[in-house]
Structure 1
Amino acid sequence: MSYNTGKKESSPVSPLKKRRASWSELWVNHHQLLSSSPLDLAAKFQSLTPPISKSKTLLPDFTLLLPDLILIRVIEKIPKSQRKNLSLVCKRWFKLHGRLVRSFKVSDWEFLASGRLISRFPNLDTVDLVSGCLISPPNSGILVNHRIVSFTVGVGSYQSWSFFEENLLSVDIVERGLKALAGGCSNLRKLVVTNTSELGLLNVAEECSRLQELELHKCSDSVLLGIGAFENLQILRLVGNVDGLYNSLVSDIGLMILAQGCKRLVKLELVGCEGGFDGIKEIGECCQMLEELSVCDHKMESGWLGGLRYCENLKTLKLVSCKKIDNDPDECLSCCCCPALERLHLDKCQLRDKNTVKALFKMCEAAREIVFQDCWGLDNDIFSLAMAFGRVKLLYLEGCSLLTTSGLESVILHWHELEHLKVVSCKNIKDSEVSPSLSALFSALVELQWRPDTRSHLSSSLTGTGIGGKGGKFFKKT
């Protein structure tokens, strides 16, 4: 016989779970909670709070709601040094990071030839292919730095530096690589390449009409036949013959081809190039917009310096690592100067020939800024020729160890418009030899950087510290 007591037996494991209170119900009934005592309030809140699940739950990725353009703008605010870590988050961020990369230096040519470079970085505007054009052994860990280029080599014995030229990729392979690069990077602005040809340049010029800066290593006259196809080219760097690495010839013929094809050129740098008066003259007459000319380690013919007078709008002349500026400077002494020249920079040049320096200063007598950095032979006699500059506003001297204080003073006192003077690491210029007239000139300058003898400054700063003393006197026996 069974009977019902009116109470439902509770199952130990009920299939129906009790509905949990929502946060909205808690929010609506907040006035009731606030009216309770603190102990009752804590007990009620603990009973109504849903228990924390022991299983870990993944939070939703809210970046999926953002379009690519918005997310790219957010990533652009992050420093470039930290963007590479973002590419490891997911595949989408990996692709977005590739779209933000603008400059890339190719070290493995297969990365370009296989098309992975273009698919990984579709928006490149600056590409350097010099290291990739050199066939390096796998896992080569030796980095070789040259003044012009740096590359890696494997462990082994090398009889000469000719291994660089011997291990360059063939011209045909470089042409195919340039064609693939131009087809995928039509917005290319700067290109650095070596051992290319006329056809390779034409392939790039056909697809990359916005290219403005070009750097050609191992360049020759025949390569420059394709230079005229770049309509918007403004900056050009030609590397011809590099001692110890490769031999290539850029003569007057190449300079004339360059002048006829690049009439919108603004900046030109010639490294290891030959040529002479005719080539420089043609550049000056055709490239009317040329403002900066740099000549590095040149093999120019005698009298090339005289062609500078045809560069009517030239504002900056830089001579770097020139063993001899001009072999026959006598013809330049009767020439007119460059009327628009404002800056003359001499870096690691041989200035022992007085006639050559006199001809150079005569050609650049209108310069307002003069820079001498680590120039050999710049003594008081040679520096006295700088009085040919009549309107100098800035003088920068660094590493000129033969120049003395009296030699410096005899020149700069004649420059009544001098405003900026910087003297660094010139050991024969002494503080104790500064005269009252030179001191008065220093007080009238707008900017003065006076660190001629770094050793004297170091020893004076260490006075009384005991540092710098010899071992026998510094250490005392106890």
Structure 2
Amino acid sequence: MPFSPEKFGVESPLQRSRRWSNLWLKNKKVLNNVLFNVRLQKQQSSPKQPIQPQPNNQKPIYVSPKKPNKAQDFVNSQCVIDKTSLLPDQILLQILSKLPKSQRNSNSLVSKRWLNLQGRLVRSIKVLDWDFLKQGRIFYRFPNLVNIDIVNGCLFSPRNCSILVSNEVLTYWIDSDKEGSCGLLNEGNLVVSSDVDLGLKILVNGYPNLRKMAVMNASEMGLLNVAEECPILQELELHRCNDQVLRGIGACSNLQILKLIGNVEGLYGSVVSDVGLTILAQGCSRLVKLELSGCEGGFEGIKAIGQCCLMLEELILAHHRMEDGWLPALSYCENLKTLRFLSCKSIDNSPGSDENLGFCQAIERLHLEKCQLRDKRSVRALFRVCQGAREIVVKNCWGFQDDMFRVAAVCRRVKYLSLEGCSLLTVEGLESVLPSCLELQSLRVISCNNIKESEVTPALSTLFSSLKELRWWPDTKSSLSSALAGTSLGKRGHRFLKKTCDWKSLPGI
């Protein structure tokens, strides 16, 4: 008969291990914390022992203080929950600055101290609530800003609205119940100019070292205050700008990058003419990059910019409403290196004769994107003005066909040519231009559906072989053959795909 410990009142090893006393003794960390708390309560409850007087004129007995217990100090150090509280702010700031920007939001949730320290590391912000700026809360939350965008803060968005209007310039909410809105901005949706000027005054007093700013519906006096209080301001973006507002920009002597947005179709309308561009040119002589969006200037305004802004290297024209005959004024921009056209309905309907056009001596890059190139005369004048360009990019432009592309043969110094989304171009157009580009090194042909690989001549193939870089995806078939090159997909599935597609006829397989 087997021996049973329960029968004789003897505990088994399993029952002995389940005792609370055994489990308590095994967890030494919990026991140390309990002992430390007990000793700490005893020390706080028991008063200090005074000197004990002795009768019969005997010498007093002094109670010797207890020696510090190193074990208790070790246990006390383990009870510290936030060890970063022992670090000074400067060291913790250096540690937080090394972390990736994607962790900023999570780091600010650790404690109030981390929230304040993380705010001191932020240099750029977009203000969405105007009261956040007007009440001064922005200075306590982000004391070291150098880049501020308050465009969206200048808009009043209705609450509980479900329609979001998005544009290349703005994104805002509208009220569907309000009659006559139609997605347009009116005076009721904007902060008035006087309040914007007051906000700018508060802003520049708190951040005198601003380097970049974006503002909407500001007046001349508001921008004059910015120019006086922020002498190192280098980049400025103005929405809903006009000629009168440009008088305040003239005081920004150190401004290098400027973006003016005058008229935006479907949102708001304002006029920037030759008068405003002339005032701008005389005041901001150190401009390096200028972007004009929805402006109505002409020959005199561009000429003044070219004569006064001698350091101008990049000019961007977006949705321009320039007067006829403005294109010859580009020849006055002697140091212009980059010329970009974005979403322009036309270039210049009346550029004038070739003798009066001139050309940009330092031009290096010509970019055309989402433009309507239907007038051969204006396109020809543009390429003649930029005949010294080394880089030409044409992307998603309407009406750009072989006749338009042939006039680009005057650009004989081009080294980089990119054609993307030009659905009217054919191989014949390439053959009429590429042989004249003797310095061509890189060629990109993407999503040009009328350019067929079967129509490429041996002479054009020889030219392709001499290039340093070639990206050839004119249509979906060519991109498919490039993607399948070096794989055995066509060989394995030729029995099943023989009727739908001839895989062996594709090059590279």
* Mean CA deviation greater in 86-95 or 131-140: 131-140
1:134 counterpart letter in structure 2: L
Residue 149 and residue 332 in structure 1: after superposition, are their counterparts in 2 closer, same or farther (change >3 A)? Answer: farther
2:121 counterpart letter in structure 1: L
- For residues 67 and 141 of structure 1, what CA distance do their matches in structure 2 show? 47
Residue 47 and residue 418 in structure 1: after superposition, are their counterparts in 2 closer, same or farther (change >3 A)? Answer: closer
Residue 305 and residue 166 in structure 1: after superposition, are their counterparts in 2 closer, same or farther (change >3 A)? Answer: farther
| Partner residue of 2:244 out of 209, 218, 222 | 222
- For residues 50 and 220 of structure 1, what CA distance do their matches in structure 2 show? 72
2:389 counterpart letter in structure 1: A
2:177 alignment partner in structure 1: 156
2:320 counterpart of 1:341 = no
- For residues 331 and 126 of structure 2, what CA distance do their matches in structure 1 show? 38
CA deviation string 1:418-458 (max 9, x = no partner): 01111111111122222222222222212111111135534
TM-score by length of 2: 0.79
How many residues align? The count is: 425
SS at match of 2:315: strand
Contact 1:333 1:359 survives alignment (8 Å):
no
**How far has the Cα of 1:178 moved from its partner?**
0.7
SS at match of 1:367: coil
| Partner residue of 1:52 out of 31, 34, 40 | 31
2:139 alignment partner in structure 1: 118
**How far has the Cα of 1:139 moved from its partner?**
4.3
| Partner residue of 1:129 out of 127, 150, 167 | 150
Contact 1:165 1:245 survives alignment (8 Å):
no
Gaps of 5+ in 2: 1-24, 38-77, 501-509
Residue 144 and residue 95 in structure 1: after superposition, are their counterparts in 2 closer, same or farther (change >3 A)? Answer: same
SS at match of 1:161: coil
Residue 203 and residue 51 in structure 1: after superposition, are their counterparts in 2 closer, same or farther (change >3 A)? Answer: closer
2:210 alignment partner in structure 1: 188
2:52 counterpart of 1:73 = no
2:395 counterpart of 1:373 = yes
- For residues 246 and 333 of structure 1, what CA distance do their matches in structure 2 show? 39
Backbone CA RMSD of aligned residues: 2.5
- For residues 220 and 48 of structure 1, what CA distance do their matches in structure 2 show? 76
Contact 1:284 1:310 survives alignment (8 Å):
yes
Mapping of residues 289-438 of structure 1, within 5 Å = 289-331=311-353, 334-438=356-460
Q: Identity over aligned residues, as a percent?
A: 57
CA deviation string 1:303-353 (max 9, x = no partner): 111110000000000111111111211245532211000110111111111
CA deviation string 1:25-83 (max 9, x = no partner): xxxxxxxxxxxxxxxxxxxxx99977635769743433223221211111111111111
Gaps of 5+ in 1: 1-45, 471-478
2:125 counterpart of 1:107 = no
2:22 alignment partner in structure 1: none
Residue 180 and residue 141 in structure 1: after superposition, are their counterparts in 2 closer, same or farther (change >3 A)? Answer: farther
2:300 counterpart of 1:278 = yes
CA deviation string 1:88-147 (max 9, x = no partner): 111111100101111111111111111111210111111111111111112445432102
1:83 alignment partner in structure 2: 104
**How far has the Cα of 1:186 moved from its partner?**
1.6
1:260 alignment partner in structure 2: 282
- For residues 410 and 158 of structure 1, what CA distance do their matches in structure 2 show? 56
| Partner residue of 1:97 out of 112, 115, 118 | 118
SS at match of 1:334: helix
CA deviation string 1:160-185 (max 9, x = no partner): 33335541110011011111111111
Residue 428 and residue 296 in structure 1: after superposition, are their counterparts in 2 closer, same or farther (change >3 A)? Answer: same
Contact 2:174 2:183 survives alignment (8 Å):
no
SS at match of 1:309: helix
- For residues 354 and 437 of structure 1, what CA distance do their matches in structure 2 show? 28
- For residues 26 and 379 of structure 2, what CA distance do their matches in structure 1 show? 94
1:445 alignment partner in structure 2: 467
- For residues 30 and 145 of structure 2, what CA distance do their matches in structure 1 show? 53
